[in-house]
Structure 1
């Protein structure tokens, strides 16, 4: 009886591990309209200057804006940021906290979070409401996929459990059919 319980427990734990791993969300960032995705960064800001240069800042934490004599500067608080210049296909890595660059407020196009002023809760640039509306169907599709995966995993789990119970019963039944 103890062996049977241990076997069932092992199968149940394996199924729970598969279920938990399939549900965990991914923390990678994907920048819409650009072929940029990165597993190390969670946030992005897209800039386009008046002369047509496009660039994307990727960061592990939310970048902030500081203003000094009408000069706007983008700052990192932990230093893990990367600048990708789309126009000339170059990249720069920022590994120390501090100022990443100066910009004009009209240059900022999009972001996946609300950019705030440094040491304040006042929002400088709000996340695009369109982006929020576009992300909601994606979350619903993920929920549908998880539900479909749960059905398959449950069916496989019940099948494995039935096979385990059957393997325990086979020796007890087979002795009756000895010739």
Structure 2
């Protein structure tokens, strides 16, 4: 059997696992965000507009479907990159590959901090007023949901480390 073909197939499968994990994390985060805005009396379309405002500024709130699609694409892209980065780091830092829960939770916190301390201040998004409760919930979602989902994908793409759930891939 041609080793290049096996390697190419493995890379293709690994890429799809990373994309699937990033998209799964993205959908879970969007469900949380939409539920939050709806509970605060705002329409669900506000969520992708807030995300798009990072590149469009306040004008995003006057856009239509195109702006919403841009916001969704940006959100999903960020989480796919986060999944890929975790997979790469877990190959270099053994602690990250040691299990999906604790390392994933730490990574989720790091993703939250990076987004809120680096990305958002550098973006065009207008400043948002958050309550302590909202910040606590945002951190909890990153730590308890997003980080572990991204970590499971990294574990699945490590050679010889695939958990049973991903054995078919």
TM-score (norm 1): 0.25
More strand by percentage: 1
Which protein shows a greater Rg? Answer: 1
Q: Quick one: higher RCO (CA 8 Å, sep 6+), 1 or 2?
A: 2
